[in-house]
Each structure stands twice: as C-alpha cells, then as structure tokens.
Structure 1
Amino acid sequence: MLTYQDVVTIDLTPLTTAAGKWDEMATSFHTLETDYKNSVQSVAEDGVWLGLSANTASGQFAATGKQYAAAQVEAKAIASLLRDAHTQFVTLVKAVKDVVTQAQADEMIVDGQGKATWDSAKYQSSRNDPDYPAFQRKRYDAATEWTRRIDTAVKAVDDADQGAKLALTQAAGGNKGVIPGLPNQQYGFNGAAVGDIELYEAQKAQDIATRINSGEKVSAADYAELNRSFRDNAGNKAFSQTFLAGLGTDGTIKLSNKLNSKEHQDLERGLANTVAGATQVPGKTSEMPPGSKKFNEWLNSPDGRFYKEWTESLDKSGTKNFGSNTQPLHGYQSFVSMMQHADADYDDQFLYQLGDDLIAAEKEHEGIFTKWGGGWEEKGIESDPIDGLLGVMSKNPEAATAFFDPQGNGPAGDHVGNDHLKYLLGSGDDSREWPKNVITGYGVATYDDYTSRIGLGAALEAATTGREPNSAGAAFDQHSEAQARVMQETITVLDKDDKGDAIEQNLKAPLGRALADYTMDTHAILRGDGPGDSSGIKANGEDSSITNDKHSLLRVMRGVSDAAYGTTPGGEPVLVYDLLYENQKLYSAEYLSTARGAEGDQQNNVVGDWDNKARNVGEVYGAMTAIGSDMILDDRDTKIGNLNDAMRYTYHGVGGLFTQIPVVGDPIQRMVDAATYEYSKDVSAAAEDVARSKDSRATTAGIGGTNALMDAWGSTRGVQGTEAHEHAKGEAQQSFITGREDAYSALRTRK
C-alpha cells in the first residue's frame, strides 16, 4: 500500500513519458507489420510457392501477421492506460496536498507519516484560562479528524494505483486475442486490449460478484478487491454501468442479499453507491420529469440506453420472489434495502421513476409488500420498499419536493402531473392501504406495522422545508413555491373531514418540525391575517407562503403536538407542542419588535400600531394555549400520560434541544429571555377552566404567557407602564380570549 510519503513525493512525469514510448512502439509494430506482409507473408501467397509446405507456411505467416496487428492494439491500449492513470493520479495527489494545506491553515502540523498534530505553541499564555481544557479537547479532536481525512485521501491514491495495476496486467496478459495454434500462445499479444481502466475494473468486479452469487468460495483478497473497485470508482458512470449491465438486475438483487450482513456492510454501501452512479440522468425532475416527452427522448438516445434497459429489467426483477413461500422476499424489498446504505446522492429523476414503479407494482400485485413474519429489521430488510424509498428520498430534499408537488413537474409540453401526496398521505378515495404485518403460527394475526410511514414523514419534512430531516438551518420564511404547495396540500389532505387532529404516530414529529419551519405563515393564519384559502399558496418565489384555513391548521397542529420530540438532558419528555410554542413565542417577539416607535408624549395615548400587533400576538397565544389544554382534556390521549406534567420544560432552557428554532438578533433574544414563563401553567389553567364550566368563554385563564411577553416587550422598549403600553396589553388580553375560544371551536374540547 502506498504511504503518505510515497504520495506527496512521487514524480508522475515518467507515466506520460512511458505512454509516449508505447505509442512509438505501436508505430514501430505497424511498420514491422507492413514490412512483414510485403516481404515475408507475400512469399506464401504470390502463387510461386506451392504444395503442403507452402500451405503450412501461409497459415503460420498469417498468424504472425495478426500478432503484429495485435501488438499495435496492446501498445496503444497500454499508452492510453498510462495516460489515464496519470490524469487520475494528478487529481488525487493534489487532493492529498490540498487537505494538508487546509489542515495547516487550521493550525495543524502534519508530519512525514501524514499525522496531524495541533500546534499549540501560540496558546501557551492561555493555559490557565478556565475554558482552555475544553478548547484543547476540541483541537485534539480536530487533529484526529484531519489525520483521518489525510488518510482517506492517501487511500484514494492507493485505490487508483491498484486499479491501474489491474488494468495494465489485463491489457498485457491473459488469453484475450491469442491466436490458436501459435507456439507458446499464452505469450501472444492481446488484440482485444482496451485503454480504459474502469472497464477492466468493472469486468473483474463482475467476475467476483458472479462467483459470490453462485455460492463459490471467494477469497478475502477478492472481497477486498471488489470493495476497492467500488471505492475507487464511486461516482464513475462508466464503471457503474458496465458492472451493473454485466451483472443484470437479478444478479444485483442477489448480490445485495448476499452482502446484507454486518461483515460486508462496506461492500453493500459500495454496491448502493454504484447503483447511484449508474442511474444519473441529465437535468432535473422539475424540468424533465419521467414520462415527459423530453425524458423519453433522452431514454431513446445512446446516453439513455443503459438507464432504459436496466430500469425496465428492474421492473421485472422487482416483483420476483427471492425468498421462500412462507416468508416472501421480493426483489424491490431487497433493492431498496440496499439503496438505504448509500452515502452517494441518488438522481432525483431516478427516485421519482422508481417511486412510480413501486406504486404501480403494488397496485398490480395486491399484497406484494405485506410484512410476513418477524425479524425484518434485524435482517436489515425494508419490508415496505415504498416507505423505504421515501426515506432515501428525504436525503435529497429537492427530489422529495418534486415527488410530492401537487402541481406536477415540467414546463408546458413536458408537464407531468402526479397524485403521490394524496395517494400516500390520504385516506379512502383510492389512497394507499399501508401494508400490515402478518404473523402466522397456530393462527394468523394481522397487526399494524410499527415502522410504517417513517419514510413518508421524513420525505414530507424534506419536501416542505428544503432540508434533510431534523437538520439545522431553520428560518421564519424562505420557502419555494413548490415547497409551500406541498405543505399546503399536506395540511389539506390531513384535515379531510375535519380529522386533522388524528395523525399517524410516525408522522407527528417530522410534520411538527415542518410546521415549525412555517412559523411566520402559521402565525399569520392563527392571528387572522392569512387569506384562509386552502386552494392555493401565496406565491412569491423563494418567499412563498401557505394560506390554509385557520381551523384546518389548528387541527393539524393539535394532531402533531402530543408526540414525543425527545428528552431533556435529565431525561424529561419534550413534546412537539414545545417546539411549536417556542417558535411562536420567538416569532411573536420578533413581530412585536417591528412596532413603530412612539415619542414620549405619544406614549400617553393609544398607539394604533402597538394595539394591532398586541391583538395579533394575543390571538396566537390564545390558540396555542387552547391546543395545549385540548391535549390535557382529551381522553383520546390517555396513552400520553399526564401531559400537564410533560409540558413544563421550556422555561428550563429546552429551546436548546430544537434545531428548528431560527437564530434571532440579540435584542429579540433578550426580549424572549425576559419573557421566560412556565407556559404549562397557562395550559393547565385553561384546561381546568373548561373542565369546571362550559361558560368559561369570557375568562382570562391562561393569559400569563401573553402578559409576560408584553411586559418584556415594554421593558426592552422602555415603555412599560405607559398608557400606550397598558392599552396594548389590554388589547392582547382580549384577543387572547378570542383566539383561545376560536381554537376550542375547531378542536374537540367542547364537542
């Protein structure tokens, strides 16, 4: 194996020099071939020499002539391989040196073995700083990471070196192109040699994979070679397509089953990355969706031939049973399970088409994705490939958005519609019947699959936010028109027949995070400023907004709120409701901060803008309080336990647990900090008020959080206690009651 020192000191010039010599050799062999044909071979063919000896000589002369031709092919191939290797090495060696430069810029010293060590000399004077030990640990961790990155870059050079060695050996040896009957034929020139390293690697990898599939004993060295080929050719379309075409879709599925073990997880990742590399399509789903005229034209082009043939074959292999009669294992289940191991990006059009194909297969073959028996998760098999694919899709948010966009994709003439969202998220009306788990034994028992819809939730979060699930980077706005359309339709579909508060458990947390990302929009809808039109979004490029009906939104927010989001460092439960409340509080503070200024004399009068913003904030707080108290009062949620106890952690700093809370400026954060309040008191007070009497519609139960925020706003503005501030606070209190009561009318608390 190449060392770090080998890589950073190597001189690559001899490769191109040698390539030139091999080209010269090919030219010389061409000259020899011409001379031989004219001066030697012609003697046996000019009709002067006759008889048995002439016939024998003619055959031998012809064989020798073909060797001269084969020698030219081999020499040219080797020249090409050397140049190919040089190009790869230049890029990869530079990558090693670039990583070293970056490490040095990060105050690292890199030694002759490629090990990075933190250069702490400039921090000698800081050693007594109380924060120094923590800082030191971070720098040591950084050094370890830089060493790993350097090692990975060096390994990539070694992988390429092994690939070049394999290709040169194959081009110069073997029995390819050898002419039968030639003395010592095993030493003949290779007239079938090619100047493509990746082709030889793919052929070798295919040979190893075929032997694995057939059950032959495969050496550890061959497994290592297969793994090296996958690593070395990650993202290489030529290698990937050559390998997969030779293996076929049946063979690919069989190989994924053979590699589905902890022992071979690197190989399965390599196979998944190979599939990702082979199925890349030009353009995007939004421009050239599968099924469009433009997409079909590409399919029928030379560039699209592999994709077309391979995906058509996958359709057939996907519905085959590779398992037993008692526990079927269909090809699509294995294939998607393998895809989940990839760390490369799958093409959005491939994901879209595969999703369509899976849905079509499910409709054509009823019950094909039923989970028979147990142990699927332990075996690493995704019993529901549709949900599994959606999980893969969640890592490519743009693909997820296009897949769910109710408007469809593509410009006029290439537009393709879809009903993926309604089919997968809806109920009744030809929506999907999600697969069950069937257990057999003394009898047959059918259960809901506890893993059901995990992928759907992740994909919807990605589709609506434009980020991978549970990732940082939330903002109060910045949603594309397509993302907003998916969010709008999601709320509409979930609230069909006013049932938005009854959401599947595995959808609650991801949809809660998605709703938190739309806090600016939901704040507007809850305060009554939204259009309340479920038919369309407010389109504005990358700052588009949802416009759902207020009651629909309330029910869906209620539906996700009771799910466990996580736990505090002390092990206390945190609910999705906490996330939604925190974001509404933060945005309310930002919203109040935009109230216009008022001079001293104006503060002794009513300030209209203050009143308006206070009313809006009060209405939102009232709605959020109603959602929380509904959870306590609703006996449908006894499984949650005592929610009154579960919703008390925000004031202990639980906000730090949420990645979906945007970063705001210091003035707003100070206002929020000043407004710290145990909001579970509001929730429980409102719930108790409702429980005591149905005539509680005029009470201010639960107003504490609203008052705390208004006081914090007044304090930070230096206007607390003024007539204008007190009047605005009173407006907030009245609107709090309005918002709370309106929310109750949408929920089931009083029904």
Structure 2
Amino acid sequence: MLTYQDVVTVDLSRLTTAAVDWDRMADAFKELERVYKSAVESSANEGEWVGVSASAASTAFTGTRKQFAAAQVEARAIASILRDAHGQFVRLIGRVKDVVEDARKGGVAIDSEGRASRIDAQLVHVPEDHRYVRAPDKSEIWERTLKQAVQAVDDADQGVKLALHDAAGIKSLFQEAFDAATGRAHEFNADAVGDIEVVEARLAREYADEILAGKRPSDLAEWQRLMRDNSDDRDFSRTFLNSLGPDATLKLSNKLHDLAYFDDTKSKQAYLNINGGIADSLASATRVPQFKNADGKPLRFGTTAYTEAFEQWKKTPEATFYNEWRTGLQKHGDDEYDLRIAGERHAVGIGHDQKVQGYQTLATLLQHGDGYSGQFLSDITDDMIAAETKDPDIWDLRGTFEGKDGWFANDPVDATLGVMARDPETAAGYLDPGTESGKEHYEYLLGKDGRDWDVVDTVEYRKSETYGRDVEDADSRHGLGLALTAAATGMDPTDPNAQAVGHSEVNDRVFKHSLEYLSKQGDDLAPALRDDLAKIMINHGDEVYTAMSDQSGTRTPLDQEQVQEITKQISRNRDSYVILTEGMNYAIVDAFDDKTRAPEDTLNAAGYAVGFMEEARYNALQGDLPDMTWDKAWSYHLTGAALNFIPGVGDIAQRGADMVTTKWIEGEMQRYEDGLVKDSKTTYQTRQDQLNALAHAWHAENSEWAENEPGYSKEEGIYNRIRAAANDGNDKNDGVAGAQER
C-alpha cells in the first residue's frame, strides 16, 4: 500500500509524458501498418504470385498487418489510461494535501510519516470570558481522515494497475501457457480498453456473477476495493449496474446479505461493504443534475420550477439510465425474492419459506448508501406507495424485524423515508404541506385514516394454525419520524454531529402544520413520534417558549392549544418528556439574557412556561393508558441526546441550563420516591428544585438590576416570584388544556 510520503512526493508529470510517448508509438505502428500493407501484404494479393503458397502467405501477411493495427489499439488505450490516471491522482492527492492544510488550521500538525499531533501553541479566543483556551485535541480524527485520503489514492493506483494489465493483455500463468500452446502468446491486444472504470466494472461484474452462481467471490478484498474506489463514478456505476439490470441487482444484494448474516459471517463486514458500494453506485448512476434558475441559483427540490426542469431533463438522452432503471424497479418491485432472514424465520407453518418483495430488497440496499438525488428517493417512495395502494398487504410478513434484525426493511416505505431524512431539503420538499404533492404525502403518512402501518402477520391457534390480525412492527414509523424531524428542522437527525441551522420557509410550514394536524389526533397520535416531536419542538424553541410563556396570548405566533396538546402527547413518554423539558430549560435560560425585555417579564415568563409544561404533564398522566415507564424508578445524566437540536447551544449565556436540568431531574426522582407521579400537587411543590435553579440562573444574568428593585435583592424573593408565576401558569392553563378539576 502507498504511504503518505509516497503520495506527497510522487512526480505525476511522468504519466502525461509517458502518455505522449505511447501515442507516438501508436502513430508509428499506424505508419508500419500502411507500409506493410502496400509493400508486403499486397505482393500476395495483387501481384503475379498465385497458388497455394500465395494463399498461405496472404493469410500470414494479413495476420501480421492486423497485429500492427492491434498494437495501435493497445498503445492508444495505454495512453488513455495514463491520462485518466493523471487526472485521478491530481484530484486525490490534492485532497490529501487539503486534509493536511485543514488539519493545520485546526491546530493539528502532520509529520512526514503522516502522523498527526496537536500544536501546543494553538489557542482559541473566548471573548465572553476575555481569555484564550487551548484548542481541543482532534489529532486522532485528522489522522484517521488523512489515512482515508491516502487509501483513496492507493485504491486508484490499484485500479490503474488493473487497467494497464488488461490493456497490455497480461494474463494469469495458466492463460499464458494456454496461449503459448495455441500460438497466441505474443499477440497485441486488439480489444484493449482505455477507460479504467470500464475495466473495473467488468471485473466487478465477474465477481457478481460468482455470487449469483452460488459461489463465493474469488477475491473478496479486490471486489471491496473496486466498489470503494469507483462507486461514486457515474461511468463505472452505469456500466456495472447496466450489465446486471434491476432484477439481478436485487438478487445479488439478497445473496450478499445471506452471506453476511448466515453463510459466511466471518466476512460479514466485507459483504456489507460491497452492498454499500452497490448502493452508492445506484446513487451516482441515478443522480439528477442540479437545476438552476435564470440567475444561476439552484432550484429547491419540490418547487414547481424544479419539477418542470426535471420533467424536461427526463426527455434528454442523459436521463436514459434513470428512466430505464425506474421502470425496471417498478417492474420487479412486487416480484418475490429469496432472503434467508424471512424464509427461514419459522421452521414450519405460516411464514415458512416466505418470500420478500423487490421493493423490500431495494429499501434494505438503499440503507447502505448515501448521496441519492432527492428526486430518485421521492420517485421510488411514490412507486412503493402506489404498490401498497394496489395491495395493502403487499409488505406483510410473519415475524417482526427490529433490533439485530432491523437491517431488513420489511416496511420499505418507512425505511426509504429514513434514508430521505439524511437530506433535509429532500425530506422537507417531500412533506411540504404548501404543495399539492407534499400535502398528499403528509396526510397519507401521518393521517389517522391514511397509511396502513400493520405489516406484521400474526397467527392464532384453534384446531389448527390460522392467520390472526395484522399488527405494527416494533420499529414502525422510525423512518417517518426521522423524515418529519428533518423536514421541520432542516437538520439530519441521523448525524450525531449535526448542528441546528436557520429554518427555511418549508421547515416552518412543516412545523406549524404538524402542530395543527397532529394536535387534532389527541391521544390517537402515534407513540413512535413522541421523541421526534420533542426534538422538533426544542429546535423551534424560541417560538414554542413564547407560546408557553405568553400569559396574554397575544405575542405568540403559535396556537397555544395546539402547543399544549402536543406537549401533553410528548409527556406521555418519559424519555420524550426529558428531551422537551431539557430543551425548554435552555430556551428559558437563554431568554434571561434578552435585553429587549424588562427583567421581571423574563422571570414571570419562565415561571409561566414551567406551569404550562407541568399542566401538560399532569394531563398526560391522567389518561387510561399512560406510559408505564413513568411508574418505575429511573436515573438520568446529561447525555446530550437532544442538545444538537437546540439553536445556539454552547453559548456562554446558556451554561446555567445544565444546572437547571440537573435540579429538575433531582426533583423528578424525588417525586417518584414520594409517590407523587400522578399526584395533583401544585407546581411550586413538585418543581421546587428546578424553580430554585431558575431563580439562581436569572439572578446571575440580572443581579445588577435586581439589587436596585424591592423584592429582587435576595434569591429567595426571586424564587417566590417565579414560583407564583409557575403556579399561575398552571392554573390558567387549565382552560387551555381542558384539564379536569382537581
């Protein structure tokens, strides 16, 4: 394998120089062919030489002349490969150098061996504290990133070697011996290909054929390299996938999964890597261009202008692969395929040897890849919906597929929505209630009378085994929740390092429509969406906090009844309740620093918001079927599970929020110990520790003002004011929430 030093010191100019020499060689062979044809071959065909000897000579001379022609093909192919290699290496080595430079800017130095180390002198200015602090040590991350960049160069180098060997006709020892025996050992390669990706695609197809024939690949490591090196290349991807076609591609993916999870588990990761490469190839092969308006600005997916541009593009030759593959997937989407995780799930009876649908295989494959065009994901999701509309039981299988078996997408619509969530703009466009198609998607997927989510067949035992009613899978709506979160926040909820971003008009539309549409469902709201709604609420924390804390009901841009109902539904699950409360604590503490409002207003608003949430929590626990986890003792520590959804988290002004949350959790735990989980004790008693912490946080931001105002000079007085506001908010929200008399 190439080293970092090899990569940064190589002289790439030799490749282009060699390419010129090989082109000159081709020209020389062309001239030799011309001279040979006119001076030698013609003597046996056009002169006075006749008879058996002339015929034999003609055959030999023609064969020699064809070798001159083949030599030209081989030489020009090698020249083309060398130029292709030069372009690839320039790009990939440039990426290595960029990583080194970016690491340096981030306070990490790279030595001559490619090892990363922290630059001790690197300091970061924290203006709020008027000091400099040492930058966090990210040397390990940068070293790993650099190794990946060097690996990409080595992968390309192996591809160049493969293509050069292929063009030069270099074969195995067995094939060389066979050619020598048949007199072909020294022939030039008339079929030489000057495209590295085409050569690699052919080899990848050979490995695929081995799998499809029931064998194991002869070189698993090389197949991984082929896919790793080329799956983002459109020419490779289209050549490889076109050689298979949709039907064989789906069969291949299933066989790779069978090998990974059943037949050859020791090489599991290798097979999954290859499936990932196939998925990435499908992404690059079906990639739709970025359409732009007259000013050169990208058109947003889901808009009328984008749709019109896409419809025009579909009529062009460039869209041929896209169109043909979508048609092929439609054709095979409801075909049945073998997959061991389904077929062998039950040894006998209903469900034994059950088959999976093509779209279930496709969705399972898609989960391995990235970089899909939004239009492609939208189209195939629509195609899946069309299939299930025609046959509502099309995805039904006996058995659940979650946990360790969750890799199989028994609900392909939900799984594909989960993939869509990785691209928030696509998710937003797909669920945008401001468009006709988006509103249709939203209401079909989230409506009480919309989609049939029961994809699990059950059995009943009477005199014999018979079908029971369909039920939901344990991870039902997981993908939908991710897509809804992405659409409403503009964030990728699958990325643990994602950070809150500014909201687009579509994000706001999805958020407000969700409040209106889902609040009407009341206690029928799907429990699986509670965590997602909590993250959406704290991501729109400023607006939600205004709604929760606005005593007059005149400042809020949101409907307080809708916010109260969604808060209630979130509070029916402990973990969702934790996410929401933690996030709102950040919003409350952040508001303490709002210098545009009178300090006493920010204090009263905080108490009123706490009362608002307490009322929702109380109402949630009065239902007939509250989440039973509320009745169990639990512990908590700040995991940060939802912190990246909170805009501006990490600012100096919000440091007090952690303490507020910690004190709130301590109060909650005490509540359980005292048996007050469903008790109607007033807010100021059940949230005493939290309110004390809020009073302390408020005083830290407003101490100068507080010292000059009667009743605010001591934190006890501040606590009494916030407690009164919280209790007042609790009482007033009885009307908002329609709570029962206590």
Contact 1:401 / 1:482 at 8 angstroms: preserved in 2? yes
2:416 to 374, 378, 389: 389
Which residue of 167, 172, 188 maps to 1:171? 167
Show the counterpart of 2:246.
Answer: 249
> How far does residue 483 in structure 1 lie from its aligned partner after superposition?
0.6
Determine if contact 2:301/2:375 at 8 Å carries over to the other structure: no
1:306 to partner: Cα distance: 0.9
Q: Which residue of 2 aligns with 1:300?
A: 315
1:623 maps to 612
What amino acid maps onto 1:255 in structure 2?
Answer: L
Task: Indicate how the Cα distance of structure 1 residues 257 and 625 shifts in structure 2: closer, same or farther if over 3 A, else same.
Answer: same
CA gap 1:721/1:268 in 2 versus in 1, 3 angstroms: same
Identical-residue share of aligned pairs (%): 33
Q: Cα–Cα, structure 1 residues 102 and 235, in superposed 2: closer, same or farther, change >3 Å?
A: same
Judge conservation of contact 1:618–1:732 (CA < 8 Å) in 2.
yes
Give the structure 1 partner of residue 394 of structure 2. Answer: 368
| CA distance 1:193–1:285, shift in 2 (3 Å) | farther
1-structure distance, mates of 2:46, 2:193: 35
Question: Out of 243, 262, 281, which is 2:288 matched to?
Answer: 281
Q: 1:158 to 1:209 in 2, by over 3 A?
A: same
SS in 1 for 2:706: coil
- Look up the match of 2:734: 744
The equivalent residue for 2:111 is 110
Q: Counterpart of 2:128?
A: none
The residue that corresponds to 1:493 in the other structure is 517
SS of the equivalent of 1:383 reads coil
1:550 to 557, 560, 563: 560
Q: Which one-letter code corresponds to 1:740 in the other structure?
A: N
Give the residue type in structure 2 aligned to 1:256: S
Q: CA deviation at 1:321?
A: 0.6
| Alignment CA distance shift 1:44-1:743 (3 Å) | farther
Q: Is residue 163–residue 197 contact of structure 1 (8 Å, CA) maintained in 2? A: yes
**How far apart are residue 480 of structure 1 and its match?**
0.9
Quote the Cα distance in structure 2 between the aligned partners of 1:712 and 1:104. 39
**Which residue in 2 is equivalent to 1:716?**
703
Task: Flag the 1:190–1:246 CA change in 2: closer, same or farther, 3 A.
Answer: same
Task: Output aligned runs, 1:377-526, within 5 Å.
Answer: 378-379=404-405, 380-408=407-435, 418-428=439-449, 430-439=450-459, 442-445=465-468, 446-469=470-493, 471=496, 478-496=502-520, 499-526=521-548
Aligned equivalent of 2:376: 350
Deviations, residues 553-604 of structure 1 (Å, cap 9, x unaligned)? 211111112324xxxxxxxxxx33233233333323433433558xxxxxxx
2-structure distance, mates of 1:372, 1:157: 47
2:153 to 154, 157, 169: 157
Q: Which one-letter code corresponds to 1:436 in the other structure?
A: V
Deviation at 1:369, TM superposition (A): 1.1
Structure 2 CA distance for aligned equivalents of residues 119 and 586 of structure 1: 34
Partner of 1:602: none
Local SS of the residue matching 2:458:
strand
Contact in 2 for aligned 1:437/1:449 (Cα 8 Å): no
Post-superposition CA distance 1:274-295 (Å, at most 9, x none): 2222221112652677993421
1:542 — aligned with what?
Answer: none
Compared CA separation, residues 70 and 300, structure 1 to 2 (3 A)? farther
For 1:6 and 1:672, locate their aligned partners in 2 and report how far apart those are by CA, in whole Å.
49
Secondary structure of residue in 2 paired with 1:304:
helix
**Could you tell me how far apart the structure 1 residues matched to 2:568 and 2:654 are?**
27
What amino acid sits opposite 2:168 in the alignment? A
**Counterparts of 2:676 and 2:11, CA distance in 1:** 80
CA contact (8 A) 1:288 1:294 kept: no
Question: How many angstroms does 1:385 deviate by?
Answer: 0.9
Match of 1:559 in 2: 569
- Residue 663 of structure 1: which of 630, 649, 660 is its match? 649
Q: Deviations over 1:93-117 (max 9, x none)?
A: 34445545566674556354x4446
- What's the CA shift for 1:750? 1.1
SS at match of 1:40: helix
Offset at 1:716? 2.1
Match of residue 570 from structure 1: none
Report the Cα distance in structure 1 between the residues aligned to 2:286 and 2:226, rounded to whole angstroms. 18
Residue 517 of structure 1 deviates from its aligned partner by: 0.7
CA spacing shift, 1:3–1:472, aligned 2, 3 Å:
closer
Higher alpha-carbon deviation: 357-366 or 93-102: 93-102
| Aligned counterparts of 1:703 and 1:144: Cα–Cα separation in 2 | 43
CA contact (8 A) 1:530 1:547 kept: no
In structure 2, relative to structure 1, the CA distance for the partners of 1:674 and 1:520 (3 Å cut) is: closer
Shift of 1:196: 0.8
Q: Is the 8 A contact 1:474 1:517 kept in 2?
A: no
Shift of the alpha carbon at 1:724?
A: 8.4
Structure-2 change in CA distance of 1:104 and 1:60 (3 Å) = same
**CA contact under 8 A between 1:81 and 1:164: conserved in structure 2?**
yes
- The alignment status of 1:322 with 2:373, answered yes or no, reads no
Give, in whole Å, the separation in 2 of the partners of 1:52 and 1:596.
107
2:225, 2:17 → 1: CA distance?
28
Superposed counterparts of 1:227-266, under 5 Å: 227-260=224-257, 261=260, 262-263=268-269, 264-266=271-273
Shift of 1:615: 5.2
Match of residue 359 from structure 2: 332
Distance 1:390 1:291, change over 3 A: same
Native 8 Å contact 1:212 1:258 kept in 2? yes
1:368 and 1:319 map into 2 onto residues whose CA distance is 8
Cα contact 1:495–1:556 (8 A) shared by 2: yes
Change (3 A) 1:440 1:85: farther
Task: Return closer, same or farther for 1:528/1:91 CA change in 2, 3 Å cut-off.
Answer: same
* 2:275 aligned residue: 268
Instruction: Give me the whole-angstrom Cα distance separating, in 2, the residues matched to 1:27 and 1:359.
Output: 58
Secondary structure of 1:235 counterpart: coil
Q: TM-score, normalised by structure 1?
A: 0.79
Supply the AA of the counterpart residue of 1:110: D
Render the CA deviation track for 1:483-533: whole Å, top value 9, x for unaligned: 11111222222123xx3344323211122111111111112223458999x
How much does 1:204 deviate? 0.8
Using the TM superposition, name which of 709-718 and 320-329 deviates more: 709-718
Tell me the secondary structure at the aligned position of residue 419 of structure 1: helix
1:204–1:669 CA distance, 2 compared to 1 (3 A):
closer
Counterpart residue number, 1:189: 188
Separation in 2 of the partners of 1:712 and 1:378? 44
- Counterpart amino acid of 1:490? S
1:33 match: 33
Q: How much is the aligned-residue C-alpha RMSD, in angstroms? A: 4.2
- In structure 2, relative to structure 1, the CA distance for the partners of 1:246 and 1:517 (3 Å cut) is same
Retained in 1: the 8 A contact 2:26–2:71? Answer: yes
- Asked if the contact 1:279–1:307 (Cα under 8 Å) also holds between the matched residues in 2, the reply is yes
Unmatched 5+ stretches in structure 1: 124-134, 409-414, 533-544, 565-574, 598-608
Task: List per-residue Cα deviations over 1:52-104 (Å, max 9, x = no partner).
Answer: 55455445444443333332222111111011112222333344455455666
- Stretch deviating more after TM superposition (378-387 or 229-238): 378-387
